[in-house]
Amino acid sequence: MAETTDILVEEPILEVRNLQTSFFTEKFEVKAVDGVNFAVPKGKTLGIVGESGSGKSITSLSILRLIKNPGKIKGGEIIFKGENLLDKTESQMRQIRGNEISMIFQEPMTSLNPVYTVGQQISEAFIIHQNMSKKEAMLRSVEMLELVGIPSPKQRVKQYPHELSGGMRQRVMIAMALACDPELLIADEPTTALDVTIQAQILELMEELQDRLGMSTIMITHDLGVVAETCDYVAVMYMGKVVEYATVKDLFKNPKHPYTVGLLNSLPRHDIDLGEEDLTVIQGSVPAPDQIPEGCRFAPRCPFASDICQERLPHLEQSEDGNQIRCWIYTDEWDGDPEVNVNGKRTS
């Protein structure tokens, strides 16, 4: 059975097919991204969720081909506007980075260069991609700072990163990423390092700008709350593989993969009272890279795992509603309890 690649979206701006990125140590190969498929619909937001080490950040860096040694993109296709980014030359990629595809990083405190002013750093994007003069670029930088809601942008543009707060720096990062009007924005945990109140502001800003500029977004996060708030589609990743791909609505209403269910159950909820045991946890932890299970990667931690799960890796399969799931329970080959109940509702 072939891996499903034609995804429910009619008009994807980005399609990732069977992407494989590995890190090579002297002893073994760590498959950080191990055959990932997903698509980002035009103008929509795709969330990629998973625990630390699930490969979500490496996936995003792979899209821009920013994987450094000893990491390597081993195979697959990254189709952006009909062209495979993995076939591009390095200089063609530079034309795309920061211009057509931009990225925002997790750590606003360390992601800005401490020895250049905010204005110089935003200007650089204009100078590289739009051949602007320094002066012109600086004027546009002021406009960008204004766009991302930084007060007195004319003064701020001359300041150095250490003179700004974390939230301000993340706004600067956003301004820098959006400078050249990208068609795709990759946000790698953009709010993780920020205070909760600032988190909401930044998410709101990103959503507002996305609407205004009509770009597509990949939102990488471990926070399902962020997903619920900002995304249209979600890909759940576990150990370098997508285990579930669905619309946000379906995912929260009817999660299918036991891992997704586990993630959702570990969220604090205020709509139902769980009594003493407020939160449930997913038992165990992500296995070490040299102890990858042979069958389903999640089997050792899965409360429903049966024999077939230990032996063979399930495929990512598309159901009638267009969502995708990588789990034996939803196949004809399922050898466990036929009445298995994954999320509290009958799955039949």
Partner 1 sequence: MFTFIVRRIIQTIPVLIGVTILTFSMMHLIPGDPAQIMAGESASPDQIELMRDRLGLNDPLPVQYFDYIRGVVTGDLGNSIRSGRAVSNEVFLRLRPTIELAVYSTILSVFIGLIAGVFAAVRRGGLADSFVMIVALFGLSLPNFWLGLMLIQYLAIGIDIFGINTGWFAASGWGTWQQQVLPVLTLGTAGAAIIARMTRSSMLEVIDQDYIRTARAKGVKERVVIYRHALKNAMIPVVTVVGLQFGTLLGGAVLTESVFAINGLGRLMVDSIRARDFPIVQGGVLIFALLFVFVNIIVDVLYKFLNKRIDLN
Residues interacting with partner 1, by CB under 8 A? 64, 66, 94-99, 102-103, 105, 107, 110-116, 124-125, 128-129, 160, 162, 173, 176
Task: Give the sign of the dihedral formed by CA 127, CA 130, CA 133, CA 134.
Answer: negative
User: Using an 8 Å Cβ cutoff, are 56 and 237 in contact?
Assistant: yes
Rounded least distance, CB 224 to partner 1, Å: 25
To the nearest whole angstrom, how small is the minimum distance from the Cβ of residue 251 to partner 1? 29
Choose between 3 and 100: whose C-beta lies nearer to partner 1. Answer: 100
Nearer to partner 1 among residue 94 and residue 315 (C-beta):
94
Nearer Cβ to partner 1 (176/261) = 176
The candidate with the shortest Cα–Cα distance to 299, out of 316, 289, 284, 288, is: 284
SS3 track for 48-110: EECCCCCCHHHHHHHHCCCCCCCEEEEEEEEEECCEEHHHCCHHHHHHHECCCEEEECCCCCC
Q: Which of 334, 345, 330, 306 is closest to 243 using CA atoms?
A: 330
Structure tokens at 228: 């619920």
Q: Which lies closer to partner 1 via its Cβ, residue 160 or residue 252?
A: 160
**Cβ at position 218, least distance to partner 1 in Å:** 13
The nearest distance, CB 103 to partner 1, in angstroms, is 4
Q: In whole angstroms, what is the distance from residue 246 CA to residue 157 CA?
A: 41
User: Which residue lies nearer to partner 1 by CB, 81 or 312?
Assistant: 81
CB of 94 to partner 1, least distance (A): 5
Please answer whether residues 175 and 147 qualify as being in contact, where contact means their C-beta atoms are separated by less than 8 angstroms.
yes
| Contact between residue 327 and residue 317 where contact means Cβ atoms under 8 Å apart | no
Give, as one character, the DSSP assignment of residue 186.
E
Least spacing, CB of residue 9 vs partner 1, in Å: 25
Q: Tell me whether residue 176 or residue 302 sits nearer to partner 1 (CB atom).
A: 176
